[in-house]
Amino acid sequence: MTKPFLIVESPTKIKTLKKYIGKEYNVGATVGHIRDLPPKELGIDIEKNFKAKHINIKGKSKIIQSLKKAAGTSDTVYLAPDPDREGEAIAFHTAEILRKKGRNFYRVLIHELTKKGITESLNNPMELNNNKYEAQQTRRILDRLVGYQISPLLWTRVQGNLSAGRVQSVAVKIICDRERVIRSFEPEEYWTFTANFGAETPPSFSAELTKINGKKINQKKTKIPNKKKAFNIVNELKSAEFIIDKISKKTINRNPFPPFVTSKLQQDSINRLRFSAKKTMMIAQQLYEGIELGKGGHEGLITYMRTDSTRIAPEAANEASLLIKEKFGKDYTLTKPRFFKNKNNTQDAHEAIRPTSVYNTPEKIKQFLTNDQFKLYDLIWKRFVASQMACAIIEQNSISIKADKYIFSVGGTTVKFFGFMKLYLVLDEKKSKDKQKLPVLKQGMKLKKEKIIPKQHFTKPLPRFSEASLIKELEGNGIGRPSTYASILSTIRDKGYVDYIKRFFIPSELGFIVNDLLVSSFPDILDANFTASMENNLDAIENGTKKSLDILNKFYSSFKEKLELAQNNMLNVKGVGITTNQKCIVCGKPLNIKMGKNGHFIACTGYPECSFSSDYTRDEKGNIKVVETEIDNTKVKDCDKCGKDMIKKQGRYGEFLACTGYPECKYTESVNQKGNNKETNIKCPEKKCSGIILEKRSKRGKIFFSCNKYPECTFASWDMPVNKECPVCGSSYLIQKETKKKGKFIKCPEKGCNYIGEFID
């Protein structure tokens, strides 16, 4: 009798599985997806109900062959990729590859890689979930339709290698919108008051002005707006009596947070551990798949880490209760487990993220973990155990001090019983400073005014998004799903749409340009509500309440119209450019932002009569500032053309000499900086140019080649030009290339021409 074949997604899981299933099963791994849409074509037959064309992924042939060989004559195959939509797709595609007559396929959902979790899963196999697969495929098709049909528009109008994504573009828009709010923000003045008091006994203490004429002071409606008003208050308070008007105490029970869902794990890890979302998920995957625990062998330490559910198994809560009683005592232990309600749109396919056994305490297994693994496991373990501990009991004290129409307030909190906070202190508590100590105070007591301190402030704009706050924003708007947040944040940075400076996202110039083009041409796709509704549609497909084809037809009928309009009307930033309010410093005509192969720059609309171009920066309000081109007005030499002084200037491709007789004399000359620019004996390949090619280094140290007649001639290339005409297409020059396999060779730089020739030194 042949063994059943168990297939997982990751090879790392195999060690953990074999520990518990022994030799009863053959085990193999797909190492991620093995089939997908073709990378170089749309791969969607729109006319045939959006039929997807799946091919084996390049580089996966050996894995596929090994799976076929390992399956052998097995009649039963258990498919156990990750228990989410992507895992379901892997299961379906694996079944397609291994399908044969008489072979049965079963889906196995392993939520935790423990003996209990694995045994329960194998004892309760299921049919493949067609609805879940349809939801994954619908998302994949939507993303392909958007990405593969909008991205080419960006290549021709902005620059190559750009991409537009159904969800990533919305994330970029959120960041751009916030930046525009920040740039347009006008600070407003306001004042606050602190008063220092002495009582009958020490110590002295301070209180804040909180009410005037019974109205709370806030920055919007009842603020103290200026110095004049502030010092009127100072004068009125000089003769006032300060009497304790009210003392109140209130005891509250503070409940612990639920165990982690994916988004909250990412946010807490970012804020507490300074891990990125991507790093958090990578380490969580390692903890889920299993760690070698010495003699204990390989063991999965946490439940599945992609989840939006706060649900926990009753036995896990009971185990936590036993540990809490042993470790902290009866007072910290609940009489019955605490369970948490899920949000309305929760899929609830998996439990919350928790340790597979609370008895694997962080201290106990620390020796087997890397430093980063320990930090994240410690966070997950403490959050879960704390969720099953008693409430914290906190006493809130509030004291009101009256001075005529003015009320000063001072308050504080005292922890009467730490409860769960003994293990998991909330960030606000960790950050809070030591509260000031108060003297004995009684209602009606007169206080001695020691000092009144007015302080000027200015309102501040909303902060830029951090990784944590952007994830919170995406989640709050229903954009994306827990499994996608880390990849969204990575993609928008990798594509250059945003910069990540001092742990905050700032849109790049490229990000603004692409965002504005997409918003004007595809407002629906960039609308947060539309994107959120599409996520709900995918959930509905998985739940069986909506059909994939209905969703795709409705989406594409609208998208197709906008795509056709965009193909005709989308602004060409490469050619026409984006209008600015800046004037050319040479001829006075408007300057436009343009895109070249080396990035964005600002150029005169009077071209070719005026060839002025320059780099530019933006101030904190987003206003454009042309980079000053003059480096030194000291004469370097006489102009070869008219005899006037030549001075040094800075252009987009480096320093050059320019005639001070401009615009009558437009003679320029490249600066040959010793050790930086190196003359070659190669003539510039541009027609009607008599310059020679210089070898230069970019700001990042990369070698490139450009004409010494810059900026009169703007020829530039990353590859060394060769003064030889292409025998195939007639290009005026070829370029020199070198690879390990081919060595040195020459080829044509023109797109569409495949000429390659032998290199002759």
Catalytic residues: 304
Token reading at 132: 């879940």
Give the alpha-carbon dihedral of 725, 677, 691, 639, to 10 degrees: 180
294 φ/ψ sector (left φ>0, alpha ψ -120 to 50, else beta):
left
Interacting residues of 153 by C-beta distance below 8 A, sequence separation 6+: 521, 566, 567, 570
33 phi and psi angles, rounded to 5 deg: -65, 145
Token reading at 450: 């020691």
Which string of b and e fits 399-426 if b means at least 16 CB within 10 Å? bbbbbeebbbbbeeeeeebbbbbbbbbe
Rounded to whole angstroms, the Cα distance separating 259 from 386 reads: 8
CA angle 464, 469, 471 (to 5 degrees): 125
667 phi and psi angles, rounded to 5 deg: -70, 135
Which string of b and e fits 75-112 if b means at least 16 CB within 10 Å? ebbbbbbbbbbbbbbbbbbbbeebeeeeeebbbbbbbb
Total residues found in the chain within this entry: 761
Interacting residues of 75 by C-beta distance below 8 A, sequence separation 6+: 2, 4, 102, 103, 104
Rounded to whole angstroms, the Cα distance separating 530 from 553 reads: 15
Crossing angle between the packed helical segments 509-521 and 548-569, to the nearest 10 degrees:
110
Rounded to whole angstroms, the Cα distance separating 79 from 88 reads: 9
Closest CA to 144 of 54, 227, 214, 226: 54
User: Count of CB atoms within 10 A of residue 476's CB?
Assistant: 11
Q: Are strands 5-8 and 26-29 parallel, antiparallel or unpaired?
A: parallel
Rounded to whole angstroms, the Cα distance separating 58 from 610 reads: 50
Contact indicator for 217, 223 with CB cutoff of 8 Å: yes
Token reading at 287: 């903890």
User: Count of CB atoms within 10 A of residue 469's CB?
Assistant: 18
Contact indicator for 80, 121 with CB cutoff of 8 Å: yes
Give the alpha-carbon dihedral of 348, 349, 354, 358, to 10 degrees: 110
503 φ/ψ sector (left φ>0, alpha ψ -120 to 50, else beta):
left
Q: Residue 143 is which amino acid?
A: D
User: Count of CB atoms within 10 A of residue 546's CB?
Assistant: 19
Q: Residue 79 is which amino acid?
A: L
161 φ/ψ sector (left φ>0, alpha ψ -120 to 50, else beta):
left
